[in-house]
Structure formats: C-alpha cells, structure tokens
Amino acid sequence: MTVRLDPLAAAPSLMKEWQRASLAISGSLDPALAELIEIRSSQINGCANCINMHSTYARERGETEQRIYLLSAWREAPCYTDRERAALGWTEALTRICEGHTHEAAYEALKPHFSEEERVKLTLM
C-alpha cells in the first residue's frame, strides 16, 4: 500500500501528542470496541490505510475475522452486542453528519449502554 504522507516522519512531536490524546480518549473503553469504531469510521471515509491499520489492531485486541469482515453490515449481522450496535450507530451518525443525517435516535441509543464520560469519548473518537 502506497502512503502519500508519513505523518510520524513529517511531524513526530505532533503525532506523539495525537497518539497520547487518542489513548486518553479511548483508554477506558473496551479496546476491541474502540478498534471496531475506528474501522467503521474508516470504511465510511474510504481510508484504506486506516482500515488496514485498525483491522490489525483489532485482531491484536482479540477481534475475530468474522466480526471484522461483517462490520460494514453490522445492522444485519447477529454477532454484535446491543452496546456495540449503539456505538456503531453513533459512529455512523457522526461520520455522516455532513450528509444531514439526524442523529438524535443514535444518541439516545447510547444512553443505556454508556456513561456520560464514555459518550464524550465516543464522540471525540
């Protein structure tokens, strides 16, 4: 895979700060769920490098191939929990916000599964 720009080489101190902030945001969330969220937003954004990277991380954090493969069809796939579905719905709502999608229902679906702090973290991811 050809990479247009290597951010770590071009701006190492900035990327270290970005990584530190990312860890602080996703740190208290289930690591596998955090990677599913990253993969799904990367699928929507069409970032092949990001999909590849986060799929690798997801495997390292215990995700199965099946769940990674089915992620683009998570609504129809029976292998995701209600908590994961709520997080994926919120991820899609935020990633597609410029398309004019209403996300109130997606936010309400988060409330039974995530604390306020976790909802903030999901939003910042």
Q: pLDDT tens digits for 41-83?
A: 999 999 998 999 999 999 999 999 999 999 999 999 999 999 9
Q: Is residue 37, in this structure, part of any structural domain at all?
A: yes
- CATH code for the domain of 49: 1.20.1290.10
Give the pLDDT score at 13.
92
> 82 is in which domain, residue-wise?
29-124
Q: Is residue 24, in this structure, part of any structural domain at all?
A: no
Quickly tell me which residue has 């929507």 as its tokens: 44
Higher pLDDT, 87 or 103: 87
Q: Is residue 22, in this structure, part of any structural domain at all?
A: no
Q: Is residue 6, in this structure, part of any structural domain at all?
A: no
The answer to whether the beta carbons of residues 90 and 107 sit under 8 Å apart is: yes
d(CA 23, CA 74): 25
Per mean pLDDT, which range of 51-55, 101-105, 107-111 is the poorest?
Answer: 101-105
Q: Is residue 60, in this structure, part of any structural domain at all?
A: yes
Task: State the pTM of this model.
Answer: 0.84
Q: Is residue 116, in this structure, part of any structural domain at all?
A: yes
Count of the separate structural domains present in the chain: 1
Confidence band (pLDDT; 50, 70, 90) for 99?
confident
Q: Is residue 20, in this structure, part of any structural domain at all?
A: no
Q: Is residue 13, in this structure, part of any structural domain at all?
A: no
